[in-house]
Amino acid sequence: MAAVNEVDNSKKEKLWGRDFFLNLLVAHFLLAGFFSLFIVVPAFIEFQGGEAWEAGIIIATFGLAGVIVRPMAGRWILKSGPKKVVLLGVGLFIGSTILYIPLPSEWWIVPVRMVQGVGLATAPVATTTIVGNLAPEERRGEGMSYMGNSISIAQLYAPVVGVFLMDAIGFSVAFIVAAASGVIALLIATLISDSKTRIPESALPRGDEKIQEGNAPLISKPAIFPTIVFLTYAFAMAPVSVFLYTLASDNGLPENFNIGLYFTVMSGMTMLTTLVSGRISDRLGRGAVIVPGLLLVGLAMLILSGVSSVTLFLGAAFLHGVGYGLIYPGINSLVVDRVPPRERGSALATLQQSWDVGASGGNFILGPVVGVYGVASAFLIVGIGAITGAAGYVIGSRKNL
């Protein structure tokens, strides 16, 4: 028995280490800064004179830069190492966040959002790649769960803090605090080992193989199917990140109700769910968490489309959080499972393009729809989309896509 326990303990020690922990902190503080702006930026656009449909389009430009840059992030990670890509992305986030403060009108936000999009298109790919590089294969889902939790903790409090600062002090302070969170992430990132977080030398192509393989691919073919599935979740985040403020106002929720509590409840449930979902995906397969997760998110969006009370509003947040807590470790682990080590950065970059196309770019579609049919229609559309994604995963898995 003692020998068995020693083996089990040695396996557990493989996952946690100094660089793994520091990487989680970097992801946490970077995303805390970003999440604190979820409600602040749409409100800032309205403050500058923009309308709801304009907010959708302006915020969607965030993803334009990501669509262009994110595919190259995988190559940069392979060549320069994930640490340098993290430093680049976090630095761009800090600079662009400060640039919000002097903007004179809503459309000046577009170039700032695009620079910020480059930062958020590169750093998260690198931090997730570090998890993939450091986590042992048999605990990959668990490792991704811890990454998900570090992000969920940020989402637990950051949107509420952002709204509070915006209402109590003003937009400038909200932007400064978001940038300060990025500075903390940057300082911690400098402490991460460059050599230990790179892909192992044994996994890199050599000689003739290097000539044949060339650089890491811009688009990872094995990651395309998981990316399409995850796109249906990312699309659901488009109206959540832009139109929650307007939805609450249109549907008669109390004026003194802090909309940021949606993200607090959502993130709290995501944290609790990821405590077990990664291990479930390791033992029962990735589909065991991805499919029910998408179904729960779809139901949450349908509830929001007809929300009429704070109870329903927070109930949707509850379902959304559980759903995402199931999806996150499953879909990230699925992508890493399907590719060789040297392609991890590119594969995860391909997967995270779902955020650019769905969560950001989706508002190019939903913005005009909201202008014609109202905010509720956006949540109805993405709810149906998430349910379709669950069905698509089942069908695609059977066909070995």
C-alpha to C-alpha distance for 257 and 169, rounded to whole angstroms: 17
Q: Given this model, what pLDDT does residue 319 score? A: 97
pLDDT of residue 201: 60
Q: Give the per-residue pLDDT at 215.
A: 63
Q: In the prediction, which pLDDT does 233 show? A: 95
Of these ranges, 224-233, 235-244, 279-288, 328-337, the one predicted with the greatest mean pLDDT is 224-233
Structure token digits, residue 181: 């969170």
CA–CA separation, 356 and 359 (whole Å): 6
Residues 29-55 have a mean pLDDT of 84
**How many C-beta atoms surround the C-beta of residue 144 within 10 A?**
28
Burial (CB count within 10 angstroms: exposed 0-12, middle 13-18, buried 19+), residue 31: buried
Look at residue 186 in the predicted model and tell me its pLDDT: 97
- State the pLDDT at residue 211: 37
CATH architecture of 19-199+217-398: Up-down Bundle (1.20)
Residue-wise pLDDT tens digits, 375-393: 899 999 999 999 999 999 9
Average pLDDT for 48-63: 75
